[in-house]
Amino acid sequence: MIGNQKSVLLILENLYGFILDNFAEYCDRKQKLPAKFQPAFTREVSEKFKTLSFAGNEPDSVLFGKVKTSIKNKLKGNQCRITYGLTVYLEKLFLEIEKI
């Protein structure tokens, strides 16, 4: 069942990306993510951060640590405003970090 869920999520993510790329004028990235989806998104971000890391005390590692802490603190705040734009930004950030 979990494999099917991941497959469906991948299809939905691809569809969402297609819509954003081709119909951006209809998407409001400043719109707040519905409250019922925010805990899952925050959990997903935390899990991604656990899998991504840089070795040692290299400048990239130090910078990534600061970025990671900053984002985690923002998502923990009581006044946290998770927007669709933030979700897209973080997904792109994770993709770029995975390339390194």
**Hey, where are the domains in the chain?**
1-28, 31-99
pLDDT, tens digit (0-9, with 9 covering 90-100), for 5-27: 667 878 888 888 788 778 877 77
pLDDT at 5: 62
Report the alpha-carbon distance of residue 8 to residue 3 in Å, rounded.
9
pLDDT, tens digit (0-9, with 9 covering 90-100), for 12-68: 888 887 887 788 777 788 888 888 888 888 888 888 888 887 766 677 778 888 888
Q: For residue 83, list its beta bridge partners.
A: 32
Angle at which helices 59-76 and 38-51 pack, to 10 degrees? 160
